[in-house]
Amino acid sequence: MPRFFPIVVPLVFLVLAALACGGDGGGGSPSAGETATPTSDTTPEPATSPTPADHKTPSAEGTPITAGDRIPSDEVEYEKVACSFDEDSGELDCGEHGRYLPDPTPPEGSDCGVLLAEGVPVFVNCTATLTAIYYEIPS
């Protein structure tokens, strides 16, 4: 009987471990908490953007921009060009440097301008009393 235990006990642990892990060897449908990952031989098409491909040419609707955590670098010189904000449409018109749809909307009475680095729009900056918001322009 002592020879029986060294063989059976490890087998019992292996069976229990397989059952605890699902035991299906990776095949079949996923169980609760698992997600199926589709496999495909084709490369997915990139999503189309409602803005121009280069993100620097103003679009008819305005380029959507969101407030971010990034702020302009102190190591780069920026030129600030004034923009006008239309509260009815929620659009910032920065003339030849683009039209933008900021999210969130700048506070009432904000002074907004586009920051250019070597002539290229990089950020939109809106300031109001005790508030400064930087919107990063997608590149």
Residue 105 lies in a domain: yes
Q: What is the mean pLDDT of the chain?
A: 73
Nearest to residue 113, comparing CAs of 88, 86, 79, 138?
A: 79
Query: What pLDDT does 108 receive?
Result: 85
Residue 4 lies in a domain: no
Stretch 47-51: mean pLDDT: 38
The reported pTM is: 0.51
Residue 92 lies in a domain: yes
- Residue 100 vs residue 32, higher pLDDT: 100
Extract the tokens encoding 103: 């999210």
**Cα separation of 39 and 61, whole Å?**
37
Domain encompassing residue 126: 63-136
Residue 22 lies in a domain: no
- Residue 74 vs residue 50, higher pLDDT: 74
Stretch 18-30: mean pLDDT: 55
Interval 90-130: pLDDT, tens? 999 999 999 999 999 998 889 999 999 999 999 999 998 88
Q: What's the chain's length in residues?
A: 139
The half-sphere exposure of 8 on its side-chain side, counting CA atoms within 13 A, is 5
Give the Cα-Cα-Cα angle 31, 34, 35 (nearest 5 degrees). Answer: 115
Residue 17 lies in a domain: no
Question: What is the domain count for the chain?
Answer: 1
pLDDT category of residue 55 using cuts at 50, 70 and 90: very low
Query: What pLDDT does 21 receive?
Result: 60
Residue 45 lies in a domain: no
* % of residues, the chain, pLDDT over 70: 57
- Residue 71 vs residue 93, higher pLDDT: 93
Residue 15 lies in a domain: no
